[in-house]
């Protein structure tokens, strides 16, 4: 009689251990947990013990990925800003006109603060500006997005790179601060209403640059007989 095939054996009963996470998966899980815990308790009141307990890991495991609370927080800021940057760059790539690009930048920011309230509250919190590293990361984020916006908006409007970057940075600041303000003051209007107002304000200026670029030079008619 042949031995039974192992594939025909009944499945084991009882508790089955979940598959072990890779290092990258564990890091992402810890960042996700830290975002929630920081958002609930604030940076200063949150301890590494609380984050480890919420993530279901030992404290040494948490410290294997992040040497300290400040390192964990800075990694979280970097992770969140990288996510938002990717969304913004994708929205720019999907637009064919400057008008659509401005609309997409506005919509992407508002979608982020609306769908990721914990992330935007943590990253754009005013009381964290006292952290030089956070301020530096935010400045790098704003500059990177401004350069990306300028690269597609500037040539269409006939602006030199430095000027296009300056104006694009102003646009990004306008949209980001307006989106955060809206989350704190919903009485300002619905998302659609507020986005429309911001678009009208931003596009009202940018459109003049487009028109300026397309407008032919004035022609002199006749002779000056003055």
Q: Both tokens of residue 21? A: 């996470």
Q: Give the residue-averaged pLDDT of 199-219.
A: 66
Q: Which of 90-94, 126-130, 139-143, 184-188 has the lowest mean pLDDT?
A: 126-130
In contact, 31 and 118? CB cutoff 8 Å: no
Look at residue 226 and tell me whether its pLDDT is greater than 90. Answer: no
Q: Are 209 and 215 in contact (CB under 8 A)?
A: no
Q: Which residues have C-beta within 8 Å of that of residue 130, sequence separation ≥ 6?
A: none
The number of residues in the chain equals 226
List the end-to-end C-alpha distance of the chain, in Å, as a whole number.
120
Tokens 């390192």 sit on residue: 71
Tell whether the model's pLDDT for residue 55 goes beyond 50: yes
- What mean pLDDT do residues 137-149 have? 89
Cα–Cα dist 44/114, whole Å: 25
The enclosing H or E element of 78 equals helix 69-93
Domains in the chain, start-ordered, CATH in brackets? 22-67 (1.10.10.60), 79-214 (1.10.357.10)
What is the average pLDDT across 82-88? 91
Distance, in Å, from the CA atom of 42 to the CA atom of 122, rounded to the nearest integer, reads 8
Q: Name which residue leads in pLDDT, 86 or 3.
A: 86
* Closest to 139 measured CA to CA, from 173, 179, 92, 182: 173
Predicted local confidence at residue 54, as pLDDT? 96
Q: How far is CA 159 from CA 59, 62, 202, 206, in A?
A: 53, 48, 17, 11
Contact 52, 61 (CB under 8 A): yes
58 vs 18: CA distance, rounded Å: 17
């Amino acid at each position: 009689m042949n031995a039974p095939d192992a594939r025909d054996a009944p499945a084991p009963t009882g508790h089955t251990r979940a598959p072990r996470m890779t290092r990258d998966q564990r890091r992402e899980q810890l960042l996700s947990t830290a975002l929630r815990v920081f958002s609930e308790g604030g940076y200063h009141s949150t301890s590494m013990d609380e984050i480890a307990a919420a993530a279901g890991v030992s404290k040494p495991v948490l410290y294997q990925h992040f040497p300290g609370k400040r390192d964990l927080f800075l990694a979280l800021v970097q992770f969140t800003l990288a996510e938002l940057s990717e969304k913004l760059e994708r929205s720019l790539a999907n637009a064919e006109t400057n008008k659509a690009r401005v609309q997409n930048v506005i919509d992407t920011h508002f979608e982020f603060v609306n769908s990721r309230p914990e992330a935007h509250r943590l990253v754009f919190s005013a009381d964290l500006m006292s952290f030089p590293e956070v301020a530096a990361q935010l400045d790098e984020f704003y500059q990177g997005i401004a350069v990306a916006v300028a690269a597609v908006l500037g040539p269409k409007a006939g602006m030199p790179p430095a000027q296009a970057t300056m104006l694009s940075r102003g646009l990004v600041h306008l949209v980001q601060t307006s989106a955060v303000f809206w989350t704190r003051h919903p009485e300002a209007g619905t998302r659609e209403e507020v986005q429309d107002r911001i678009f009208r304000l931003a596009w009202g200026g940018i459109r003049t640059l487009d028109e300026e670029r397309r407008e032919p030079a004035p022609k002199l008619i006749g002779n000056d007989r003055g």
